[in-house]
Amino acid sequence: MGRFVAGVIACLLLVTGGLLWWQTRADSARPFPRPLSAISAADELLPEGTENAFGAPPPLLPEARPQDREARRFGRYDRNRDGTITRTEMLSSRTKDFKKLDADGNNLLSFEEWAVATADRFDGADVNRDGKLTPAEFAITAPKRSAKPHCKCSGS
């Protein structure tokens, strides 16, 4: 009987110690983030730009050169990164063009028809007929980019 009472007292002491330890950890937890009213009040203290500012304006974002654009496009097709595009690599990511080839919109374009059109495009770009496209040959297959206006500003 004495062992039973000692076991119960030991369990109660362990539970009490655990609760006390848990409460002290709750006090040292990270505080809640600042309320939005405090954040907006701090934002009002930020200075605003003026028309009388001096110094050079910030630089414009660089635009990608056509060579960089072609290198990225070539990299998307060259799955094994060997510097050439095989027929299989060229045909693997042509799902958007599949939709474009369905001229009548009836979704009945067979895969064979699509593969023939894509293979013809590959053959047209493969100038030296070695079954692989070099970066220069691949540039022939680039889609024609339409000239987009820089902005749609209403007259000033």
Residue 83 lies in a domain: yes
Q: Which residues span the domain enclosing 122?
A: 66-141
CA terminus-to-terminus distance, the chain: 97
Phi and psi of 132, rounded to 5°? -135, 150
Residue 95 lies in a domain: yes
Residue 12 lies in a domain: no
Residue 70 lies in a domain: yes
At residue 156 the predicted structure's pLDDT band, cuts being 50, 70 and 90, is very low
Token duo for residue 140:
């022939």
* Residue 87 near residue 99 (C-beta atoms within 8 A): no
Residue 90 lies in a domain: yes
Predicted local distance difference test score (pLDDT) of residue 115: 77
With a cut of 90, say whether residue 56 has pLDDT above it: no
- CATH number where 73 lies: 1.10.238.10
State how far the Cα of 18 lies from the Cα of 23, in Å rounded to an integer: 9
pLDDT in tens, 9-45: 999 999 998 888 887 766 665 666 666 565 555 555 5
* Residue 78 near residue 89 (C-beta atoms within 8 A): yes
Task: Name the domain count of the chain.
Answer: 1
Residue 103 lies in a domain: yes
Residue 75 lies in a domain: yes
Going 135 to 136 to 142 to 145, the CA torsion angle's sign is positive
Residue 7 lies in a domain: no
At residue 116 the predicted structure's pLDDT band, cuts being 50, 70 and 90, is confident
